[in-house]
Amino acid sequence: MHIPLIEQSYAALPELLYTRVEPQSVAAPKLVIANDALAAELGIDRDWLHSADALQLLAGNVAPSHGSVIAMAYAGHQFGGFNARLGDGRALLLGDVLLNDGTRRELHLKGSGRTIYSRGGDGRATLSAMLREYILSEAMAALQVPTTRSLAVVETGERVFRQRPEHGAVLTRVAKSHVRVGTFQFLAARGETKAIEALMAHEIARTMPEVSGAREFLAEVLSRQARLIAQWMSFGFIHGVMNTDNAQIAGETIDYGPCAFMDGFDPQKVFSSIDENGRYAYDKQPTIGLWNMTRLAECLLPLLDENREAAIKIAEQELGRFMPLFEMEFEKRMLAKLGINELSHAQFITETLQHMANAWADFTRFFTALTRGDDMRSFFISDLAHDEWRAEWNILRAPEATALMQKYNPVYIARNHRVEAALTAAENQNYLPLHQLLDAVQNPFTARADLVQFENAPDAQEEVLQTFCGT
């Protein structure tokens, strides 16, 4: 059995960026689910992942051999309000593993207990919240959207109290890096320009080695964010909590709290139970992405130019690229979903989405039906609206439309009602619905007769209207 080598490269950064922590043991750890396919990608031996030694490590009961477990410090704008000191309040960075291609992935425990950043919280996580992240992150990965991944969920044998007592659990999250816009804000709020430069150099070396200097760094980060948000929206995904501490520098989706894939299309749809003003609604996500990138640019001003006015001008030039990059990626993907290969027909996207909104058409089933050549009338508010739209589509669609649509239109998404049903069953120690759902969403573009129930939109009584962060 091969034991993975875990190193703690983050500890080479300035010490104000982290705090060393002693793992807090849990009573009776039990492996609930392990991601064998991801383990293989990471070069982690399957036998080790399912071993007693791995269980103790992934439960947070023991430290890796390097002995330097840390909680990361960061700040963040949360729903627009700035908090200068957040940090890993219920998480620990175990370290990173080296892949065969020379890149690294960090292993991060979520729900591992209190740290100095817990702000009065218990530092723990519920089984349902951690399994939810496992499902959503694996669904996102299968859609080929950049994302953090889930290696394992371990039940702790302890109860966690939220609205009610629930089973406790620890998730092992895998990421290129856990550095966020909020990490840079943490340093900027303290005037730590040298540390900002060191952190930037760390991220460049780790996730974007082709980049050189602060301007290229800013350009690369905002480019990744623009493309990422376009990918989310092309699948009807709403992140739900796009705070700057959840905007990852490497460009992966991070923090699957109050997020969801839409059923009926509504551009103003919000899922987060605490987003009362719709700050993070579906159609606000590009604007918020730019807002977050502006906060990063503010942190980088001293590195962009010694003259502040010149630095601001550079930042504004780079930030000006964000919306065109987003629009280009979104239009390309949405036209592909419609079987159209000419970018000059972008207006047809707006027309289609307006029809969908008028009829509250199911986002995923609309495009699946189109791909299959099904009758589309039920997705429109009237036969006339359908016939006019269909006539225009027949003119615009590409000769290879079906192949194009099959590549961009999933049959299965992690529908909210299916996720909730799987989590409810898991709370009662029934994991069959969880594995059935994962079977569907981990192969989202291939229809299977035995999984047809996972295509269906929820009935009125099944619809999930709000999701929660789980803290």
- The residues assigned a catalytic role are 245
Burial of 454: CB neighbours in 10 Å, binned 0-12, 13-18, 19+: buried
For 323, the token pair is 């919306």
Dist CA 454 CA 187 (whole Å):
45
3-state SS string for the chain = CCCCCCECHHHHCCHHHEEECCCCCCCCCEEEEECHHHHHHHCCCHHHHCCHHHHHHHCCCCCCCCCCCEEECCCEEECCEEECCCCCCCEEEEEEEECCCCCEEEEEEECECCCCCCCCCCCEEEHHHHHHHHHHHHHHHHCCCCECEEEEEEEEEEEEECCCEEEEEEEEEEECCCCEHHHHHHHHCCCCHHHHHHHHHHHHHHHCCCCCHHHHHHHHHHHHHHHHHHHHHHCCEECCCCCHHHCECCCCECCCCCCEECCECCCCCCCECCCCCCCCCHHHHHHHHHHHHHHHHHHHHHHHCCCHHHHHHHHHHHHCCHHHHHHHHHHHHHHHHCCCCCHHHCHHHHHHHHHHHHHCCEHHHHHHHHHHCCCCHHHCCCHHHHHHHHHHHHHHCCCCHHHHHHHHCCCCCCCHHHHHHHHHHHHCCCCHHHHHHHHHHCCCCCCCHHHHHHHCCCCCCCCCCCECCCC
CB-count burial class (<10 Å; 0-12, 13-18, 19+) for 28: exposed
Amino acid in position 103: T
Q: Which two tokens stand for residue 340?
A: 């159209």
Cβ neighbour number for residue 84 with a 10 Å cutoff:
13
Closest CA to 261 of 364, 404, 402: 364
